[in-house]
């Protein structure tokens, strides 16, 4: 078989630990044999980030701006323990945070659902997509640990006029944090959510803590409402769709009682946390896809889960692990499909669809990794396999369809 040609390279961002091992296996077994893969490779593994003073992360984001489509492996966000483990020069920031700050935009996370895996929440009939704002807030916050003294919030406008308010008069040690966001980023967040909702024909929910955060969160609420009224209301009504704003506490309760099948837009931190809850309730973290869409139409595909450290430590001891590669495979298929669409390469789009179908067929035949076994409804005979066996079985199914 002749390999499928590509015209524009994908920006490939390699990562860490177990997902780095799986990354290579996916390329070797499921992509190289079929696609004449063109990528511009950036190693975002922690060792390389430390070596380049994290310049490599910035470069990979800039390459994404240039080419338009990236695929990213999960990466370690260093903490104190990683500082010693990897003997780091500095506690580098989250690569995802850095990339999102450069690309702006919104992260859409949707579970891969299967008829043989019933969600933990019995009322959920259709996937819930989380739309997470991917700019600012706590991910770009400035923080101090402080002692006794006065903390103030000071804003100096372009004419030098100061607005000053006391945050707290510290009588003891404490912590302090400054967060920001930009109207322009919130507007593009709102527009990408409304557009995405229209494109998948689903209702859009949005929630913040506006009752407590009367300026910060309220700004998000106001901007969404204004953009809805002026740009999207007519289109939503024409399609019979609803835009629904509610306080986050209320949203959490309603989501659990809902049937699913809508998009839930959330601020950066809320989206980070809620997407883990939603993905776990739909089955497994390993079945959650994730794509960052920037306001000017750049795409970065990744798995929603991390580097699966616990499995990696077992792998290092020589054990064969049953780590689920589904979300990482879907990061590749998402990126290849988008590249194919943008470059008018029908074969590439077709390949991405067939690879996804081969994954689903494999799971429906009962061949699966350990994380999924206890979630199935008992309607098929299960064969639990390790990661390599699972990927090989997907390859068998893929070859049958080509």
Cα 299 from Cα 358, distance rounded (Å): 24
Helix (H) or strand (E) holding 186: helix 183-200
Region 243-272 residues binding ligand NAP, contact defined as CB under 6 A: none
Look at residue 10 and give the partner it binds from ligand NAP, Mg ion, none, a contact being a CB closer than 5 to 8 Å depending on partner kind.
Answer: none
Distance between CA atoms of residues 53 and 89, nearest Å: 8
In the window 277-296, what residues touch ligand NAP (CB under 6 A)? Answer: 285-286
For the chain, what's the residue count?
Answer: 402
Strands 288-293 and 142-146: unpaired
Near ligand NAP by CB under 6 A: residue from 307, 362, 376, 397: 307
Beta strands in 198-339 (DSSP E): 204-208, 243-247, 263-266, 288-293, 299-303
Q: Identify which of 381, 401, 323, 324 has the alpha carbon closest to the alpha carbon of residue 112.
A: 324
Site string for ligand NAP, 360-389 (x = CB under 6 A): -----------x------------------
38 — phi, psi (to 5°)?
-110, 120
The CA distances from residue 245 to 36, 111, 124, 239, in Å, are 46, 23, 20, 18
**Minimum distance of Mg ion from residue 276's CB (angstroms):** 5
Binding track, positions 57-76, relative to ligand NAP; x by CB under 6 A:
-----------------xxx
Selected from 52, 77, 219, 246, the binder of ligand NAP by CB under 6 A is 77
Residue 275: CB minimum distance to Mg ion, A: 6
Q: Which residues, 127 to 166, sit near ligand NAP by CB under 6 A?
A: none
User: Which residues sit opposite 129 in a β-bridge?
Assistant: 263
The yes or no reply on residue 272 touching Mg ion (CB under 5 A) is: yes
The residue among 312 and 351 lying less far from ligand NAP, judged by its C-beta, is 312
**C-beta neighbour count of 366 within 10 angstroms:** 15
Question: Strands 142-146 and 39-43: what pairing?
Answer: unpaired
Tell me which of 309, 353, 384, 386 binds ligand NAP, using CB under 6 A: 309
Q: Which residue is nearest to Mg ion (CB)?
A: 272
**In the bound complex, what is the minimum distance in angstroms from residue 303's beta carbon to ligand NAP?**
7
Task: Please identify the residue of the shown chain whose CB is closest to the bound ligand NAP.
Answer: 306
Size of the site for ligand NAP (CB under 6 A): 17
> How far apart are the C-alpha atoms of 334 and 293, rounded to whole Å?
12
> Could you give the C-alpha distances from 151 to 41, 72, 140, 171, 326, in angstroms and in order?
45, 39, 19, 11, 47
Q: What residue 33 binds from Mg ion, ligand NAP, none (CB within 5 to 8 A, per partner kind)?
A: none
Nearer to ligand NAP (CB atom), residue 185 or residue 321: 321
Query: Which of the listed partners (Mg ion, ligand NAP, none) does 272 bind, with a CB threshold of 5 to 8 Å by partner kind?
Result: Mg ion
- Binding to ligand NAP by residue 274, rule CB under 6 A? no
Of 96 and 188, which has the nearer Cβ to ligand NAP? 96
Among 57, 96, 268, 279, binds ligand NAP (CB under 6 A): 96
Q: Could you give the CA distance from residue 82 to residue 193 in angstroms, rounded to a whole number?
A: 35
Output 109 or 354, the one with its CB closest to Mg ion: 109
| 20 part of the interface to ligand NAP, by CB under 6 A | no
Binding span for Mg ion by CB under 5 A among 93-101, 130-138, 168-176, 268-276: 268-276
| Options 141-149, 176-184, 220-228, 298-306: segment touching ligand NAP (CB under 6 A) | 298-306
User: Which residues contact residue 359 at a Cβ distance below 8 angstroms, ignoring those fewer than 6 apart?
Assistant: 326, 329, 330, 394
3-state helix, strand, coil in the chain (%, to 5): 45, 20, 30
Residues within the interface to Mg ion (CB under 5 A): 272, 276
Residues within the interface to ligand NAP (CB under 6 A): 74-77, 96, 285-286, 302, 305-310, 323-324, 371
């Amino acid at each position: 078989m002749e390999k499928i040609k590509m015209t524009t390279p994908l920006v490939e961002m390699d990562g860490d630990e177990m997902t780095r091992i799986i990354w290579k296996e996916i390329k070797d077994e499921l992509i190289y044999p079929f696609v004449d893969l063109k990528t511009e490779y950036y190693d975002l593994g922690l060792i390389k980030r430390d070596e380049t003073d994290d310049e490599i992360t910035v470069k990979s984001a800039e390459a994404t701006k240039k080419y338009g489509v990236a695929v990213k492996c999960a990466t370690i966000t260093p903490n104190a323990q990683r500082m010693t483990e990897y003997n780091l020069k500095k506690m580098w920031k989250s690569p995802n945070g850095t990339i999102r700050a450069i690309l702006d935009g919104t992260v859409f996370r949707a579970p891969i659902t299967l008829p043989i895996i019933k969600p933990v929440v019995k009322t959920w009939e259709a996937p819930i997509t989380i739309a997470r704002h991917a700019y600012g807030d706590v991910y770009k916050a400035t923080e101090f640990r402080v002692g006794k003294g006065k903390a103030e919030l000071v804003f100096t406008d372009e004419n030098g006029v100061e607005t000053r308010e006391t945050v707290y008069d510290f009588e003891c040690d404490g912590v302090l944090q400054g967060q920001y966001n930009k109207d322009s980023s919130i507007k593009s967040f709102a527009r990408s959510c409304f557009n995405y909702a229209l494109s998948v024909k689903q209702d859009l929910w949005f929630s913040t803590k506006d009752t407590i955060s009367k300026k910060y969160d309220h700004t998000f609420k106001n901007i969404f409402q204004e953009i809805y009224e002026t740009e999207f209301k007519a289109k939503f009504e024409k399609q019979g769709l609803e835009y629904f704003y509610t306080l986050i506490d209320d949203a959490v309760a309603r989501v659990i009682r809902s049937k699913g099948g809508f998009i839930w837009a959330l601020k950066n931190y809320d989206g980070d946390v809620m997407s883990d809850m939603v993905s776990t309730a739909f089955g497994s973290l390993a079945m959650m896809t994730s794509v960052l869409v920037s306001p000017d139409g750049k795409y970065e595909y990744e798995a929603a889960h991390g580097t699966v450290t616990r499995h990696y430590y077992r792998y290092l001891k020589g054990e064969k692990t049953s780590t689920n590669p589904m979300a990482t495979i879907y990061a590749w298929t998402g990126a290849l499909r988008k590249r194919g669409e943008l470059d008018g390469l029908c074969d590439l789009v077709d390949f991405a669809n067939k690879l996804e179908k081969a994954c689903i067929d494999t799971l429906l035949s009962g061949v699966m990794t350990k994380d999924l076994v206890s979630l199935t409804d008992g309607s098929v005979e299960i064969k639990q396999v390790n990661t390599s066996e699972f990927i090989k079985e997907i390859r068998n199914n893929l070859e049958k369809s080509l």
